[in-house]
Amino acid sequence: MGKTLFDKIWDRHVVKTIAGGPSVLYIDKHFIHEVTSPQAFKGLQQRGLKVFRPGQVVATADHNVPTLNQHLPIKEELSRIQVEQLKKNCAEFGIELYGLGHPYQGIVHVIGPELGITQPGMTIVCGDSHTSTHGAFGTIAFGIGTSEVEMVLATQCLMHTKPKLMRITVDGELNKGVVSKDIILYIIAQISASGATGYAVEYAGSAIRNLSMEARMTICNMSIEMGARCGMIAPDETAFAYIKDKEFAPQGDAWGKAVNTWRTLYSDADAVFDKELHISAENIEPMITYGTNPGMGIGITGHVPALGEIDEREKPSFEKSLLYMGLTPGENIKGKKVDYVFIGSCTNSRIEDLRMVAAFVKGKKKAGNVEVWVVPGSKQVEKQAIEEGINKVFEDAGFVLRQPGCSACLGMNEDKIPAGKYCISTSNRNFEGRQGPNARTLLASPLTAAAAAITGEVTDVRELI
C-alpha cells in the first residue's frame, strides 16, 4: 500500500514510538512569539536548561505590537513587558529575533514562508494554532501549547500520537469573485467547526493545484477552524518557484538536491485516507459567516438559517450566537450594514491579498459609515505595497494602511472593534469578543471585505466586478 504525504514526512521524523502511546517526533523548525513563549523560557530557567538547538528557532513579535508608530515605545505596559521579555529571552538563549524595527518583522506565519524558512518536508511548530499555514508547502505544521514550546526548546522534540488522515479534493473552476478564502470557509461550513478534529487534512484537486502559494496558505491556515491537527498540500512547481531565491532557501547545488527530495513528497496513487471529501469548485460562491464560530458560514446570497433548519440539540448555542451577533434567524445577510473593515491577519495579509484589494478599490472611495484598516502581514509586505503604489490606492480610497502585526484579528493590542459594532474581517475567527469585547465579526475574503468597504454593507462582490 502506498504512503500519504503525511506518512512520508511523519515517518521520517519519528525518533521513537512508545507502545500504546505517543511517538517522539523530531521538529525541524520552531517559531516563537511574545505571547506563548515567556512561561516556556521561565520553565527552562527553573530547570537550569539551555535551548537545545537555538539555530532551529526563529522569533518575532506580532500578537501584541501596535500597528501605528512602531518606532515609539509600546504604550500599553503589559504588552511592552511581553515584547521586552521576548527580546531578553532571545538574547539569553541565543535565538534569532526579528523584533519590532527589524526589516523581517511580521506575523510569524507570514514571515516563515516569505523568508524561505518554511520548506517542504519539514516538521514545523509554533505556540499558535494557525501554524497550519505552513502546510501549504507540504510540511507537517501545527500549533502547540506553552508546555510543548518548552519541550521543543529543551529537546527539539514533542510527544504526539499520529492523527487520522483526511483528504479534501476540490476540483473544477472557481466562479468569478470566488477566491481561496471562500473555498476554506465553504469547506468549514460543510463539515463544521469540529468536522476535522483528530485528522490531518491534505487538500488536493485541480482547484487547489491552480492556486498560488499565498492562496494555498489561506486555506491551510484555517484548517484549525474545523479542528484539524494540520492542513497540507503536496509541493509542486508553484511551491518550488515561490521558495527559490528566498533569503533562507537552499542555494547553489543544494537547491537542486532539495528540489529532487521535495518532488517525492506527494500521496501515492494507492495511498488510503481514513476519510475523503469531494467538493466541486463550481458550487462555491463568495462566503461570509453570520455566527460565532467559523463553521457558521453561508453564501453571500444566502440567509441566516431559520430555527426550523437547526437541530434541536444545537438550538441553545445557535440562539446564543445570533443574540450576540444581533441577527435574526432567517434574515438575508446581504445588505447588512457594517461599521469596520479589517483586512489583515495570518490568513489574508500577504502582498497578493493587498494587490487583490487594491485592484478592486482603485478609483473608488470607501463608504462614509465604515472605517477601513489594512494591516500588512510583515515589514516586507508593507515595503512591497509601498513600492507598488498600493499605499496610494488605499489612501485615495480612504483606507488606512497600518504597520505589521496580528492587530484586530484578536485585539491584543489597541486595534479593537468597539462593542456592538459589525466588522467584516479577513481574519480567521468570529468568536465572541475575538476582535474586542462584544465586537461582531463577519469573516469573508479580502474581495468581499473590500466590496463592503466601498458600499458600507455586506455586498455580493460579483455585482461590482
Binding site residues, other proteins, CB under 8 A: 12, 15-16, 18, 20-22, 24, 26, 35-36, 38-39, 42-43, 47, 49, 52, 63-64, 78-79, 81-82, 85, 127-129, 131, 142-148, 150-151, 154-161, 163, 193-194, 197-198, 224, 227, 229, 293, 295, 314, 316-317, 320, 410-412, 429, 431-434, 437-438
3-state secondary structure 86-101: HHHHHHHHCCEEECCC
- Closest CB to other proteins among 81 and 464? 81
Query: How does strand 275-280 pair with strand 164-171?
Result: parallel
In what side-by-side order are the strands of the sheet with 340-343? 400-401, 371-374, 340-343, 422-425, 440-443
Residue 116 CA to its chain's centroid (Å): 17
- E strand segments, 184-316: 199-204, 230-232, 275-280, 287-289, 297-299
**DSSP states along 20-85:** TS-EEEE-SEEEE-TTTSHHHHHHHHHHT---S-GGGEEEE--SS--SS-TTSPPSSHHHHHHHHH
- Calculate helix-pair angle for 379-387, 351-361, nearest 10 degrees: 40
- Closest CB to other proteins among 135 and 143? 143
In the complex, least distance from residue 259 CB atom to other proteins, rounded to whole angstroms: 19
- Closest CB to other proteins among 159 and 400? 159
All three cell numbers of 375, joined, read: 494591516
Cβ–Cβ < 8 Å for 372, 366: yes
In the complex, least distance from residue 117 CB atom to other proteins, rounded to whole angstroms: 18
- E strand segments, 75-177: 96-98, 123-126, 140-143, 157-160, 164-171
- Closest CB to other proteins among 131 and 347? 131
- Closest CB to other proteins among 150 and 457? 150
Judged by DSSP in three states, 16 sits in strand
In the complex, least distance from residue 229 CB atom to other proteins, rounded to whole angstroms: 6
- Closest CB to other proteins among 12 and 176? 12
**Distance between CA 371 and CA 143 in Å, rounded?**
32
In the complex, least distance from residue 82 CB atom to other proteins, rounded to whole angstroms: 6
**Distance between CA 438 and CA 417 in Å, rounded?**
8
In the complex, least distance from residue 293 CB atom to other proteins, rounded to whole angstroms: 5
In the complex, least distance from residue 192 CB atom to other proteins, rounded to whole angstroms: 8
- Closest CB to other proteins among 255 and 388? 255
In the complex, least distance from residue 360 CB atom to other proteins, rounded to whole angstroms: 30
- Closest CB to other proteins among 85 and 190? 85
- Closest CB to other proteins among 247 and 319? 319
All three cell numbers of 314, joined, read: 444545537
- Closest CB to other proteins among 47 and 71? 47
Cβ–Cβ < 8 Å for 137, 117: no
In the complex, least distance from residue 410 CB atom to other proteins, rounded to whole angstroms: 5
- Closest CB to other proteins among 12 and 278? 12
Cβ–Cβ < 8 Å for 280, 190: no
In the complex, least distance from residue 157 CB atom to other proteins, rounded to whole angstroms: 5
In the complex, least distance from residue 130 CB atom to other proteins, rounded to whole angstroms: 9
**Distance between CA 42 and CA 150 in Å, rounded?**
9
Cβ–Cβ < 8 Å for 451, 461: yes
Max Cα-Cα span within the chain: 64
In the complex, least distance from residue 111 CB atom to other proteins, rounded to whole angstroms: 18
- Closest CB to other proteins among 155 and 212? 155
Q: Which residues contact 317 (CB under 8 A, 6 or more apart)?
A: none
Query: How does strand 14-17 pair with strand 371-374?
Result: unpaired
In the complex, least distance from residue 81 CB atom to other proteins, rounded to whole angstroms: 7
